[in-house]
Structure 1
Amino acid sequence: MSTPRVNLKVQRKKNPRDLSAPDRYYVQAVKTGNCDLERLAYLIANQSTVSEADCLAVLHSFVHNMMDELEQGRVVELGHLGNFQIKVSSLPSNSPEEVGIENVKSIGVNYRPSLKIKKRLKKIKFKLQK
């Protein structure tokens, strides 16, 4: 099996805070495709004695229950995978009395990888495409 490699490309970007500033160049990972729940179920089924349908059912249940837990304000701890938690971005107010639900600008999910994932990420090989 070959060593996994993430391709990188050079991407020119404008400064959104100063559109008159010269463009800058950044390294960006190249997307090679997507992996959905069906693909994960297929891969897991081929590495175990569990059927693809059973794997898919468990993954769908997992997503449903993870969302239920996040909606309750809980941190979802997934061992070697890491932790997931609801995050909120909000607009500022001048006093605590002025703060309300309308201050909420966006809602998302924070992911904090486990130490095992962090170590694995450091081992990824990269190739810069010109």
Structure 2
Amino acid sequence: MNVSLRIIPRKDPRDLTQPERFYVKAVKTGNCNLERLAYLISNQSTVREPDCLAVLNAFVHNMLDELGQGRVVELGDLGNFQVGVRSHGSDTPEEVNLTNIKNVVLNYRPSSKIKKRLKTMNFSIQGAQTP
């Protein structure tokens, strides 16, 4: 397994007069949807693909329901998901209302197993020469 990277130039948005700097960015190589996951799981078990898909769809439905009730969804080795908000500040607590909310986000905290795996992934820069 190898994650491809590419080099991209970026200006500093805080100071556009500064010269561009170069950064690496992970390259998307495709998507994996619920149907693909169901197919992969069915090939690794005795459960049929439609049954896997039904379970995954039920999982998504129930995860959204639990998140909507303010619960942290704990998924063992995968990690935890929780709803969060980004908001504008107000001068006093009395001025705070729902219009302070800028956007709603889904916070993800990976498990220690996922964090360890991320540290051991192989990376290569597209077009770069290997020593």
| TM norm. shorter chain > 0.5 | yes
Moved over 4 A (4+): none
Q: What's the secondary structure of 1:16's corresponding residue?
A: coil
Instruction: Compute the RMSD of aligned alpha carbons.
Output: 0.9
Amino acid at match of 1:103: N
Identity %: 65
Question: Normalising by the residue count of structure 1, what TM-score does the alignment of the two structures yield?
Answer: 0.94
- Out of 70, 92, 95, the residue aligned to residue 73 of structure 1 is 70
2:117 counterpart of 1:120: yes
Amino acid at match of 1:30: V
Counterparts of residues 1-130 of structure 1 (less than 5 Å): 4-130=1-127
Shift of 1:95: 1.1
Amino acid at match of 2:44: Q
Shift of 1:123: 0.6
Structure 2: gaps spanning 5 or more residues? none
For each residue in 1:13-47, what CA deviation from the matched residue of structure 2 results, as whole angstroms up to 9, or x when unmatched?
A: 12223333322211100111000000000000000
How many correspondences in the alignment? 127
Structure 1: gaps spanning 5 or more residues? none
Q: Which whole-Å CA distance do the structure 1 matches of 2:15 and 2:47 have between them?
A: 55
